[in-house]
Structure 1
């Protein structure tokens, strides 16, 4: 389904609701929902998006096979108490559910945000380069509603991409390693059912970590009419921020970078859960979303749409 098809279906839905000869009126909530659904459908039906989700699904498979080969299927060593990937890897052979945490820790620094950055960068610029953006605005939704629909679709995609990694890791972990009661990083043992709930909570926390980048990518997408340029710029900014975050001499700016609290999801594997860093991460992503979302709105509502 092309962007033009999605736009056409949304416009037809509003036209049907209005009826022939009806004057243009304020968009109804049903129209807004239809616009959001159209945006999400178009995003998920793009071959590029499906390919990126496929890569995310394969990564836990590669990690699980690598751990299986490395350990020869034997019991792994005891895990550390840190929140990094290696501590999770040490636990995978004892409990396959730890593959979820390892896969998310491995994909969060680059693969997950790169996927979100590509989709976000293409959100507006892709429509402009395809010549469908002006056609979308023929519908009585207005630029603000269209931008909100695109951002909402991006938020859903952030969650979907994270769940793809988590679900793939659960299936691979169950196939290659034993599942059972899980020993948290703090040493407390909880039943498998609670472990699965914590895995779901961690997936949501990781998705929240991508919100700031999604807003940044959407803003970049409003600055150009080239989808490729917007995607490249968004991924380039991601790499630049990661490099800045790795330079000790620039530690004064580290707390203001959107990836600063990304690994805080590991705190959900402790009992009781220390919420400080998790909430700080949510707050930081909210600030990025507010700042760059507002910038995207200011740019998109004032620019000349010529394509």
Structure 2
């Protein structure tokens, strides 16, 4: 990546791209203002309650939105259970035994049916708003979620396996994945910044821990070996935090990358320390939390506009786990 543009210019490019999404008229932040003005406050309240009970849930709800949008667009297909006609995404390799938050989405859907006096708010919009409210509840920035998505009638395990970037990807593979979704390298760095929240399973960082010791800070490697034994199957589900403040939305994730403490291979690929790739962006956001907050919201809006079902496409599910 040639970071020849000033960071102010890059920031403006992000904003222009965001306004370009709005210009298409696909989604509208005020979509529910008249049909159910209580919708967003209800989602916010339930998300805050869920995070109060378990802070980790915020990271899980944010991840749920990402894993939904990267598979055929932001259409709530990730919520669908398997049926006789399709195998869904819940048991795809990136999601099995790790994707969480489905019960929280169910609670929101039930509450909205009562408050809105009918089946008004789509599951896809619930996922998008819950992700934003999770960020805010854990100390991060608010941003306007653009609404009006409808829900898919099918899901694809194969698409999930192929579309969600793996934690083992090198920088070029990460860039290719994001570009294939119409996203930029800056989006990659910003959306990866969501790893300032939450934890990762041993299976996702074992190879980095034992095969890449030269790129992992020594004390970090030592402590992680107590959590994640070298033998596959031993401690696979043990968790390690993605940065030093896993329940606080901040820029510590980028600080860790600069210190060679990135937990996942894909994390550390964003900063190699040789001035290549996205090194400059990682340094910039590490040192400029305000810019990160502003640009993260724009990147989330861009991701949330990936191939939404609108108008008469798809449906609004009564139950987020199954088609009507």
TM-score normalised by structure 1 residue count: 0.33
More helix by share: 1
Greater relative contact order, per chain length (Cα 8 Å cut-off, separation 6+)? 2
TM-score normalised by structure 2 residue count: 0.32
